[in-house]
Amino acid sequence: MPLEATMNSLGFAKSPADTRVVVAMSGGVDSSVVAAKLAEEGYDVVGVTLQLYDHGAALAKKGACCAGRDIHDARRVAEDMGFPHYVLDYENTFREAVMDEFADSYLGGATPVPCIRCNERVKFKDLLQTAKELDADCMATGHYIQRKMGAQGAELHSAADAAKDQSYFLFSTTQDQLDYLRFPLGHHKTKDETRALAAKYGLSVADKPDSQDICFVPNGDYAAVIEKLRPGAAAPGEIVDITGNVLGQHHGVIHYTVGQRRGLGIGGLADPLYVVRLDVDKKQVIVGPKDMLATRRVPLREINWIGGGKLTDLAERQVAVRVRSTRPPTEAILRPINDTEAEVELLVAEQGVSPGQACVFYDTDSTRVLGGGWIWRGQ
């Protein structure tokens, strides 16, 4: 019998019962469905939930992953489906690897994306290592992204449901990690398919709302979290125009991001003004007209390349890039500088490109994710 004919749904040439899979369970509907589905298929499932920050505070926080209620929900799914479930205390790791950088990035005038760092430094590093120590054949998550086998091995592809695609947040997944990871929901056409499965399995989380906020940022109040992590961070200063004229006062640079228009408190002007730059050293918020936000050249560092071969194999290449999670990919030219740095030239200027955000590369002829890097200075 050909080897391909004996492969199970996770890509192993053995029965599901002989295939151990650790499922990263956040307590939400997506990861719960992954765990339940694999358990129903007969896999040796082990559920693991990470406690990432203060459990007591988390109990009162709704709509975010890995909070106290979510840990309870994950445990209940495991009990109902009959597989073991463990909660690991990753508070210190999470604070050092994710929260501290989040605060320092804002203090440096950048706009960080902590969910990427969490996947990179906690879930796909420490948790993945734990899965290997549990003798798991692979680790599965509820992310909406596809893993496909190509001519040179596992490839990362956008999710079938563009509205739920999470490829922007997973660009830093390395080839070794991709070889070990599985994403059973990536092929689903809509989120309704996932909820239908949750109802089919009788999961208590079937109607649970999707998480919207960053898990440790209640109600989207970034500044309050930063002030708690870095007391005194919200030093007041001036709002100035591009020629240095003082237009108003602010209560801390951490309250502003590049591209922001609302909440500046400088009304009465003929034309609207936007935040075009943050000068942390001078404690200034610099504002200007919308056209000043347009960016064509985007410098990147800490690049993770999973597009086959080396990043520097070509002097330049045509790609599609996404400079914010909420924006569709746009045509660009990628010009490598070395294995970890490059410049992207956008064929059509984008507005509000900010240091601290990610720039993710896509193949122009397919859904393949080629990698990405971090935007590290303004224009």
How far from 75 is each of 82, 203, 219, CA to CA, in Å? Answer: 10, 11, 25
Point out the catalytic residue in the list 65, 115, 118, 359: 118
In angstroms, the CA 294 to CA 101 distance is 27
Residues 6+ apart with CB under 8 A from 279: 109, 253, 285, 286
Q: Please give the structure tokens belonging to residue 165.
A: 């695609």
CB 31 within 8 A of CB 21: no
3-class DSSP state for residue 26? Answer: coil
In angstroms, the CA 140 to CA 154 distance is 15
In angstroms, the CA 304 to CA 302 distance is 7
Of 54, 111, 49, residue with least CA distance to 77: 49
Point out the catalytic residue in the list 115, 138, 215, 359: 215
Q: Please give the structure tokens belonging to residue 135.
A: 């003798």
In angstroms, the CA 231 to CA 197 distance is 46
CB 18 within 8 A of CB 25: no
Is residue 215 part of the annotated active site? The answer reads yes
How far from 142 is each of 203, 228, 321, 336, 366, CA to CA, in Å? Answer: 15, 31, 24, 33, 23
Helical ranges in 123-239 per DSSP H: 128-133, 175-180, 191-200, 222-229
Sign for the pseudo-dihedral over CA of 310, 326, 260, 225: negative
Which active-site residues does the annotation give? 118, 215
